[in-house]
Amino acid sequence: MLHFILQANTVAAMAADTINNSVTGIQAATTPEITETKISLISMVMKGGPIMIPIAILLLISIYVLVERLLVISKAVKKNDNLVLNLKEMIHSGNISNARMMCKNLNTPESTMIEQGVSRIG
């Protein structure tokens, strides 16, 4: 009887090993091996063909527009705290032409609007 139990355990262990090996074999067969390849940017651009030329031109145009807009916005954000006080003193003293010249020399959106208002005064 003991021999029969040991033989049953051995058969069960062999069956478990067979199932385990077959599952591992199936996984190994269905999972492709991934190899890492490195591609340089220049080789990728060269492989892109003629379609890369318009993409490169559009890239340069977009960089130009980005820089130009950043410059315009940074210029518009400048704040001159003394502008209004100086203009107020000039206008009260009657130096309207000097106030207009000061606005023209500053060349900011704020000074341009104030210059238009000062020009209507006189």
Q: What is the pLDDT of residues 54-74, one digit of tens each?
A: 999 999 999 999 999 999 888
Q: Which residues contact 118 (CB under 8 A, 6 or more apart)?
A: 87, 91, 96, 99, 100, 103
Contact between 69 and 96 (Cβ < 8 Å):
no
- Taking the C-alpha atoms of residue 32 and residue 10, their distance in angstroms, rounded to an integer, is 34
pLDDT at 60: 97
CA distances for 73 relative to 63, 69, 77, angstroms: 15, 6, 6
Q: Residues of the chain whose pLDDT is less than 50?
A: 2, 6
